[in-house]
Structure 1
Amino acid sequence: MISKKQKLYLIAMISFGIFFKNADAQQQQAGKTLLAKGTVEAISLETSEVRSLKRRTPVFKVDKVSTYQKSQAQLKMIDGALLALKENTALHIEEYFLSSEGDKGSVVMELVSGGLRTITGKIKGKSDNYKLKTPVGSIGIRGTHYEVEIVNGELFLAVWDGTIEVSSNILLEPLILGRDGTHAFAKISDAGEVKPLLKPPAELSSLSGQVNKGTDDVKEEVTELVTSVNSEKLNLGLTIQSNQQPLKSEDIKKAFEDTSFLTEEVLDTFATEDTEALLTERKGVIEYSDIEQFAITSSNGTVSDFSMRINVDFDNGTVPLGEMSFSDNDGEWFATFNGLINTNGMQLGVNYASHGQNLADGDIKAQFSDELRKIRGNFSLYEIDNIATTAGGLFVIKEK
């Protein structure tokens, strides 16, 4: 027979156990706040505690993170993933686990409202260990950089690198977007109607805007930081090129963590693979001319007949030949270019450009992705004698 005193002791011990279990669950950190602009809060779904998120503030697996009007947040998760939350967004972190070995884990999150852009970390590759739930369906990944936003009940999707798979009981079959799909962009209605798109949905709101610093301000801060680091002769990683200055990738990451909000352009930089080892393995001249995606606009109407070719000489680290062409209402745009390749991209220069019978000029930027199987980039062209006549856009091309 258990005495009354023993019963009270057991009840107290059980209560303490539950308390510590709940406290332990709440303290399972999922990531940290890189930056919070405006009003950003996290509410614990276990204790209902509301916390204001600031730089370096942790987020936990029981948190619902919310941004409000003219507010944005960026989170770095425990597996290295980057999450950029747009304004008026609510994200519920249900599970974020990374094993002590760092090679296994699981992610379950729910996008309740708003939108996000993310570059996934170590946890990826299987539909059963990564899931982003939305009102329309659940998203699984295969190592990727993607964007999702809920607008008036519809789900808008863009895949910038890799592949996502959207599944739901209202969809007739899973929707595959990106590398392994036929399209990289799509929208899904609340009734499950899927509409593939040839270019990024206009409904996707920007990560830039009033809360961001200007690009020139960011570059100046990065340059100042790198100058300081280089003066101390610290070796912090791979060299990349930006504004003709030799920058270190780790320096740039630190600079943006400390001083600036990540725009789409910067997120693309973070998504760039460390290609040094891959470059040493490649041999010969490879032609990239299989067009996977493009989105081009012209000041003279609709664009058609886009083609592009980039020859890469991996033995000599050069781009000996590159060319592109497309047409608008006033004739054909044509450009040739060449340059050098480096561990994070390409240094390219336009050699000749024309629009119809008029000479033109411009610039082109490109970088490798998908383990050197693709080149993605952007360009801008203009007539020399009439700079108001312009064309430009984005492209992704694959090995032939």
Structure 2
Amino acid sequence: MGKVAWGDAKILADFNYSVDVLTPKYNYLQHLPKYDQVDGVSVIRLPSFFQFGNAAIIPKLFWLLRKYDIYHLHYPFYGIGIFIMLAKIVWRKKLVIHYHMDNLANDWRRYIFQFYLYFLFPQLLKVADVIICHSLDYALNCRGSWWIKKWQYKLREVPNGVNINFYQPVSNDERFIVVTKQLLFVAALDRAHYFKGLEILINAVNKLISKNWHLNIVGNGDLINYYRTLVKTLNLDQKVTFFQNCDDEQLRRMYQSSYLTILPSISSAEAFGIVSIESLACATPVVTSNLPGVRSVVDDHVNGLLAKATDVEDLRSKIDYLIEHPKEAELLGKNGYHKIINMYSWQIIGQKLSKLYENMYH
């Protein structure tokens, strides 16, 4: 969510909007200054009354919001919604609620998520001028869909964007003719991102009929040792490699050199899949789960394949099929690249956001 928020802020600055990003000064960011200027965007890190994970309570936010014309809240963002809602009402400014995803949990956190979903979320939508979702498919099928449908006349579709000048195909592309096909998975390997479905993927590749593959896993987190143990237990040590710390340049090269990117998400906590558009921007086809929002990016048998969520065998069959059909895989990648150029470049997203802002005043 943070990556999208930052991308939105930068492209709006390019469109000559004066943009301030207000964010909590998290404990692990104490070394950073309170005020910063990055790529034409002002970053203001605010001390919080209370922090837990990424949630933060910042009472002074209410007063700071007086000077702004538009509040663009990337949601879910726990702890600040009430202050933004009050500021909207008292200062009479414009409010955009940018709904990213459902938050799901099986522990005590689910009660907090449910409280926000059933009590605060509908109040935010009620006072909002515009509601943004990455796809109408997700907006009308997510857990908050009942409330979104109630104020559907406010709903606008603005997908995530990708830097097509950075993520792009390479010339002399030989990845579709080499014998060993490089498969790629990219995600945080922590409990909060278990929904990305890496365990499903590891079990699926263990059953692949084809032997000409190698899986590269990019990510880090508190579950990495769990996944390493699973790989070792299945005797896949020679077929799976973990890359814990990849910068953007390294990640781009991995997309460009991969035969196939796999995003086997298992629940509605996955609303879009930035990995999919980054991969397709590099003309690398994608196999992903047939979930609302996710399937708005990947068109089945056009720029990738859709697999049944949580279905190990179906995922295995889709991966095997593309490994055995390299010409089709290459065509899917090319189709995906053209879709990204026409729909998901940051320039296009900036135009959508700019028009949306202007329409709020007309």
When the two structures are superposed, what TM-score results if normalisation uses the length of structure 1? 0.29
Larger radius of gyration: 1
Q: Which structure shows the bigger proportion of residues in strand conformation?
A: 1
Q: Whose helix proportion is higher, 1 or 2?
A: 2
